[in-house]
Amino acid sequence: MNKSVNNIIIVGGGTSGWISAAILAKKFASIQGAPKVTLIESKSVPTIGVGEGTWPTMRNTLKRIGITETDLITQCDATFKQASKFEGWVTGDKSDVYFHPFNSTKGYPRINLANFWGQDSEIDASFSRAVSCQESLCEQGLAPKLISTAEYKDLANYGYHLDAAKFASLLKNHCLTKLNVKHIEDQVVDVKTCIAGNISAVVTQHHQTVHGDLFIDCSGFSSILLGKALDVPFISKQHILFNDSAITAHVPYASEDQSIPCFTRSSAQPAGWIWDIGLPHRRGVGYVYSSQHCSDTQAKKQLQMYIGTQSVPTEFRKISFKAGHREVSWKNNCVAIGLSAGFLEPLEASALMFVETAATMLADQFPATYESMPSCAKRFNHAFIYRWHRVIDFLKLHYVLSQRSEQYWRDNREASSIPTSLQALLEDWKHMPPSDIDFASQLDLFRAPSYQYVLYGMGFKTNFAAAKHTLDNSELANKFFDLRQQEQQKLSIRLPKHRELIDKIHQYGFMEI
Amino acid sequence: MANSHIQALNPSTHKDLKLNVDPLFTYTKTIQFTPLHVNEFAPASTCYPIYFIKDRATGKLFSVALFGLEEKENLFYSDTQWRASYVSESMQCWPFTMAKTSDNQWSPHIDTSSPLLSNDQGQLLYKSGRPSETLNTTLQRLQQSYQQKLQSMAFVEWLLELKLLKPVRLGMKYLSGEKSIINGMYSIDASALQQLPPDALSLGHKHGYLAPIYALLASHYNLYDLIRLKKTFSKRPISSLQLIESE
């Protein structure tokens, strides 16, 4: 059937739906006869609104769809995120802290500094401090850029913290006013399929039946197209990643001008971990835990204890989820993007990044006809099955390296809960630090530096002495260690405090150049 | 104003101040740029390269005459005479300038730290509470200059809207073999200008923007003069200066 793909129907209007709509509509905006994008969202379905952290990839995504960085910061209560700070993940002691910065290790990919760090006892004992200036910038409370830095450009790598609900409405507004996306406000009550198994239309409660050629399922956990209508099974990963619940809250600042951390705090707890994100007017916190190891009441108590008695939290919410993903993201003429395709705990804030990556891949390799759809689907599914698999390994790594003694943490170290692929990598890394050889695929989203930050931040032992023969360019390594040092000194003087920059953006905005 | 030396001009506070004249403009000795308004582009283009730079406090772009090739360098200053024929409005008005008061209004200000001001010698700013003739002339000049400032801001907005500005990087090679890069300057994108649709072009013409645009583009040939001055007078002479095409 050589029918062309003219109508894209997106079902669901959370961040996933609107990001997908924006990326597709922008891609097609200047092409004559390109497919039309329609988004159907129901007023009555609340969005999950978790995932208040983004990756640096969001900068490119927003630039691509034509939203200014000033609008993002001012309309979504956004702040900058330069790193994650992990507290208490190894032993739970007060001094047990490490950073996973967004900056790559200095000189990467030209040189793998981990090797040299491991050899030289005179270099800073903290891996992230030795190979990147960003831990120091974070500790000093500095922003990653100046008011005179062009929008989306940086002096230190960054993503965002933001109010997810406001982010969705900014995207929606942009899609409707600038990108010509058609909007239907109604609830989908039925899905029509034809003999070939394709979806032919969705039936809405008050409007007519909406026909389409390609359907994008952004319906969240309910996965009404891919999961329900097309019966694609859910592959649970709960035996690897135990967390299935979260209690979230908003915490006010003690004063209006209190400093805003420029990183996500992630603090290990008896049965999970607590995230702590600084927005301009409040903090967003949440305890992610395993209901097998901790009751909701206990979890709430734990979160209260973390918040302390100084501030009064509001808007407590409980969220339940299942770690895992659909067997495939694309079946016939239906692609799932966002929670409908799968969900893993927010430990490395990868949810929105998965949405960006999926929507971008769909836009870049868009099937022109029904005939080309199976091969597009095959490629897409191959990429995302691979990515789910690798992200699960990376998230699990944070748990297997812990030495905490609570039942939850001991269970997390049970060999039966660790994927064999991760076990094999850990075996390799005993002898050699992670390098590009371990992440040869272009599809890899976490690469050697990320693994190194977590491994060496958590005290993993590589037998560096045995890897001595791989040190072939100490001169270059020393140059990069020096450069890192100079960069830290220069930026410490130049960069403003995080809140100061946020205030200035509200007042003056960024320039496009 | 963050700088506490810059005070709003006031007949009672400043009644005893006397003003001296400095034909050398010594206050610019370690200043690499001076602000330039759009009406000054044509005369200034006979001496200085004209660029846009960003205000550190606000990130906003404004136009300047370039005096030096590194921080705190002014190749036009010397202890015998100013090495150019055109002197900018802001330099002629100094130590007077327009600045924002606490209630966000623009008004004449004075830099009280200026060595041109003293209580002993020079011409009194005020005579029995009324501005002296010299001060009056300067105040008029500041008023005009403020109007020009507003026009210059509108000019920058127009350039930004039409995406006619681009960052410029200059690569400099010293005789010693060392290299450095001059960052943070912006210029008019000549090829974007060529692509400008006729209606935008005719609007620019109507606003009187085309003459200053071409003056700015031509002013960049003054970089040759800066190279010459740097070769002759600087302790760190250079062998070459090159425009680096953007990434």
A203: contact with B, CB 8 A cutoff: no
Among residues B31, B26, B74, B87, the alpha carbon closest in space to that of B234 is found at B74
Please check whether residue B177 lies inside any domain of the structure: yes
- pLDDT above 50 (res A336): yes
The beta strands (E) that lie in A51-142 are given as: 79-81, 83-87, 97-101
Q: Using an 8 Å Cβ cutoff, are A156 and A167 in contact?
A: no
d(C-alpha A154, C-alpha A160), whole Å: 13
A493: contact with B, CB 8 A cutoff: no
| Closest-CA residue of chain A to B186 | A513
Q: Kindly state the tokens that stand for B201.
A: 């072009």
Summarize pLDDT for B186-229 with one digit per residue, the tens. 999 999 999 999 999 999 999 999 999 999 999 999 999 999 99
User: Do both A310 and A249 map to the same domain?
Assistant: yes
Mean pLDDT of B64-77: 96
Domain end, chosen from A296, A320, A344, is at: A320
- pLDDT above 60 (res A50): no
Q: Using an 8 Å Cβ cutoff, are A170 and A76 in contact?
A: yes
Please check whether residue A395 lies inside any domain of the structure: no
- pLDDT above 80 (res B139): yes
Q: Using an 8 Å Cβ cutoff, are A355 and A329 in contact?
A: no
Q: Which residues of B touch A147 (CB under 8 A)?
A: 56-59
Please check whether residue A138 lies inside any domain of the structure: no
Please check whether residue B202 lies inside any domain of the structure: yes
d(C-alpha A398, C-alpha A405), whole Å: 15
Choose the mutation target among A147, A490, A501 for the interface with B, i.e. most B CBs under 10 Å.
A147
Please check whether residue A498 lies inside any domain of the structure: no
pLDDT value of residue A196: 86
B60: contact with A, CB 8 A cutoff: yes
Please check whether residue B209 lies inside any domain of the structure: yes
Please check whether residue B124 lies inside any domain of the structure: yes
d(C-alpha B46, C-alpha A178), whole Å: 45
3-state DSSP call for residue B198?
A: helix
| Closest-CA residue of chain A to B160 | A512
Measured CA angle at A267 (ends A289, A84), to 5 deg: 115
Among residues A505, A501, A484, A510, the alpha carbon closest in space to that of A153 is found at A510
Q: A192 has which bridge partners? A: A201
pLDDT value of residue B2: 47
Q: Cβ–Cβ of A511/B184 closer than 8 Å? A: no
- pLDDT above 90 (res A47): no
Across chain B, mean pLDDT equals 93
- Top-ranked range on mean pLDDT: pick from A73-87, A189-203, A437-451, B131-145: A73-87
Torsion angle of C-alpha atoms A247, A248, A252, A254, degrees rounded to 10: 50
- pLDDT above 60 (res A48): no
Mean pLDDT of A391-419: 97
Q: How far is B63 from chain A (nearest CA, A)?
A: 15
> E strand or H helix at B18, and its extent?
strand B18-19
- pLDDT above 60 (res A202): yes
Domain end, chosen from A320, A355, A378, is at: A320
Q: Number of A to B CB contacts under 8 A, please give it.
A: 34
pLDDT value of residue A466: 83
Q: Kindly state the tokens that stand for B116.
A: 């041109």
d(C-alpha A46, C-alpha A267), whole Å: 28
Please check whether residue B34 lies inside any domain of the structure: yes
Please check whether residue A51 lies inside any domain of the structure: no
Q: Which residues of A touch B61 (CB under 8 A)?
A: 511
- In one-letter notation, the amino acid at residue A385 is I
Mean pLDDT of B26-34: 95
What backbone torsions phi and psi does residue B48 show, to the nearest 5 degrees? -120, 150
What backbone torsions phi and psi does residue B6 show, to the nearest 5 degrees? -85, 110
Which residues make Cβ contacts (< 8 Å) with residue B77, sequence separation at least 6?
B24, B25, B26, B28, B29, B67, B83
Query: How many domains does chain A fold into?
Result: 2
Please check whether residue B1 lies inside any domain of the structure: no
A504: contact with B, CB 8 A cutoff: yes
Q: Using an 8 Å Cβ cutoff, are B74 and B32 in contact?
A: yes
| Closest-CA residue of chain A to B164 | A513
Please check whether residue A16 lies inside any domain of the structure: yes
- pLDDT above 50 (res B8): yes
- pLDDT above 70 (res A1): no
Structural domain range at position A348: 7-46+174-238+323-388
Q: Kindly report which listed range (A89-93, A109-113, A170-174) carries the lowest average pLDDT score.
A: A109-113
Among residues A324, A326, A321, the alpha carbon closest in space to that of A380 is found at A326
Q: How far is B56 from chain A (nearest CA, A)?
A: 6
Q: How far is B37 from chain A (nearest CA, A)?
A: 20
- pLDDT above 80 (res B152): yes
pLDDT value of residue B1: 40
Decide if A3 is catalytic. Answer: no
Per-window interface: B 169-198 vs A, CB < 8 A: 184, 186
Please check whether residue A33 lies inside any domain of the structure: yes
pLDDT value of residue A49: 55
Structural domain range at position B211: 6-244
Q: Which residues of B touch A146 (CB under 8 A)?
A: 56, 59
Crossing angle of helices B198-206 and B210-219, in 10° steps, is: 90
Q: Is the dihedral of CA A16, A273, A326, A453 positive or negative?
A: positive
3-state DSSP call for residue A185?
A: strand
Instruction: Look at A67 and B103; give whichever has higher pLDDT.
Output: A67
Choice among A27, A81, A331, A396 that is catalytic: A81
Q: How far is B16 from chain A (nearest CA, A)?
A: 39
User: Do both A215 and A338 map to the same domain?
Assistant: yes
- In one-letter notation, the amino acid at residue A459 is G
Across chain A, mean pLDDT equals 94
Q: Cβ–Cβ of B59/A148 closer than 8 Å? A: yes
User: How far, CA to CA in Å, does B25 sit from each of B68, B74, B79, B81, B99?
Assistant: 15, 11, 10, 9, 20
d(C-alpha B64, C-alpha B52), whole Å: 6
d(C-alpha A184, C-alpha A186), whole Å: 6
Q: Which residues of A touch B163 (CB under 8 A)?
A: 512
Query: How many domains does chain B fold into?
Result: 1
- A510: nearest CB among B57, B59, B163: B59
User: Do both A234 and A354 map to the same domain?
Assistant: yes
3-state DSSP call for residue A159?
A: strand
3-state DSSP call for residue A241?
A: coil
User: Do both A20 and A41 map to the same domain?
Assistant: yes
What residue spans of chain B are helical by DSSP H? Answer: 41-44, 89-93, 133-161, 190-194, 198-206, 210-219, 223-233
Domain end, chosen from A388, A410, A438, is at: A388
d(C-alpha A264, C-alpha A57), whole Å: 17
- A508: nearest CB among B60, B166, B167: B60
Please check whether residue B21 lies inside any domain of the structure: yes
3-state DSSP call for residue A81?
A: strand
B2: contact with A, CB 8 A cutoff: no
User: Do both A310 and A373 map to the same domain?
Assistant: no
Q: Give the domain CATH number at A41.
A: 3.50.50.60
Residue appearing with tokens 């400043």: B14
Q: Cβ–Cβ of A511/B61 closer than 8 Å? A: yes
Q: Kindly state the tokens that stand for A491.
A: 């930026």
User: Do both A290 and A329 map to the same domain?
Assistant: no
Q: Cβ–Cβ of B59/A147 closer than 8 Å? A: yes
- pLDDT above 90 (res A440): no
Please check whether residue B47 lies inside any domain of the structure: yes
Under the banding of pLDDT at 50, 70 and 90, the label for residue A493 is: very high
> E strand or H helix at A300, and its extent?
helix A296-307
3-state DSSP call for residue A323?
A: coil
A148: contact with B, CB 8 A cutoff: yes
Please check whether residue A112 lies inside any domain of the structure: no
